[in-house]
Amino acid sequence: MVNKIETKLLHVDKNVEDNKSCVHIVDAARLIRAGEVVAFPTETVYGLGANALSDEAVGKIYQAKGRPSDNPLIVHIGEMSQLALVARDVSDDAQRLIDAFWPGPLTLILPSTSAVAKLVTAGLPTVGVRMPDHPVALELIRQANVPIAAPSANLSGRPSPTSAEHVRKDLAGKIAAILDGGQTGVGVESTVIDMTVYPALILRPGGVTYEQIKSVLGQVEMDPAFLVDAETSPRSPGMKYAHYAPKGELWLVSGETAAVRRKMEELLLQAKRSGLRTGVLATAESASLWSGKPFVDAVLPCGSSSDLAAVARDLYATLRAFDDLQIQFIVSETFPRTDMGLAVMNRLEKAAAGRILSV
């Protein structure tokens, strides 16, 4: 049992030009240097940061999140000079991606140096590194003057946090401070790409798209582990480890629009009949179709089907909102796996833990 600690809530204005003088960033950087854990905004989701060079500090991250310690963490750097401290053998291809996308939502897997805390890499010879594109995150790292290891600042298994309020709900009483820099922008996590193999291999789709990476490297592959064939379904529930999940049971329905709507309605009616509170994860286009239906308790719009980046931005907040409304059964249509749609579908599939129907 972890003792409850007081969590400081520190507001920062991310639009303020001169973050150097922000007392709250100074305060948070001091906590990082003292070996404490601080949540901070990035352009993707909120991170839960600690000194990446200290096993003792990083241990507190795993403890606060309840995260299995065999899942390695991403190291965040604030300036290019910090890269050599944590990673070796930066290939020409890796350098090309750095030039094109840093600061930004792209994590490179590179050979690690011995300075990186063992708990960060979970014993692997490699380390994931990125430079976040967020003024508050960058200033925090610079002032802490150490690279910061940070997973997403949610309890393990919950949707990642895109606001300080999400972090507070999951982690208040467990961490030293939360730097509140408002809503994050991209909404889903960084793309993780393994640069220690050739061709480079995307391990997790995210804020930098496959198409963007391909345009820089020419050749890049995707880990088959995250590619689900929409035609082979239903996939057996529980086959995959549930992640990013709302408390309610999420079902995805893919196929031709009219058939999808019919199937969604059938599932909702069934759930309602068995006494569950039901919800639809809708888009701007489909929301009006579902609102007012007696078998739907909550219709939550999440972006637009013509703007996949907007779906990504709203996704985690929408999944969490279903929890706040005590929705027990949720259905969603699927999205094209192009551009940001690849990351959106990956997160939805994990949240649905295999409950995918194609009609």
Q: Where does this chain touch Mg ion (CB under 5 A) — which range of 4-12, 101-109, 146-154, 264-272?
A: 146-154
Residue with tokens 């220690």: 196
Tell me how crowded residue 258 is: count the other CB atoms within 10 A of its CB.
9
Q: Where does this chain touch Mg ion (CB under 5 A) — which range of 4-12, 152-160, 282-290, 343-351?
A: 152-160
> Least separation, in Å, of the C-beta of 154 and ligand TXA?
8
> Least separation, in Å, of the C-beta of 128 and ligand TXA?
3
Q: What type of residue sits at position 331?
A: V
Q: How many residues would you count in the chain?
A: 359
> Least separation, in Å, of the C-beta of 319 and ligand TXA?
15
> Which partner in ligand TXA, Mg ion, none is near 349 (CB below 5 to 8 A by kind)?
none
* Residue of the chain from 2, 34, 71, 79 that contacts ligand TXA (CB under 6 A): 71
Does residue 205 touch ligand TXA according to CB under 6 A? no
Name residues contacting ligand TXA, limited to 129-188 (CB under 6 A): 132, 150-152
Does residue 19 touch Mg ion according to CB under 5 A? no
* Residues 159 and 323: beta-carbon distance below 8 Å: no
> Least separation, in Å, of the C-beta of 359 and ligand TXA?
31
Does residue 112 touch Mg ion according to CB under 5 A? no
Does residue 152 touch Mg ion according to CB under 5 A? yes
> Can you say whether the dihedral through the CA atoms of 240, 242, 248, 254 is positive or negative?
negative
Q: Which DSSP symbol is given to 7? A: P
* Token pair belonging to 181: 């820099």
* Token pair belonging to 196: 């220690």
Query: What are the CA-CA distances from residue 276 to residues 71, 142, 245, 248 (Å)?
Result: 35, 49, 18, 10
Interacting residue ranges for Mg ion, rule: CB under 5 A: 152
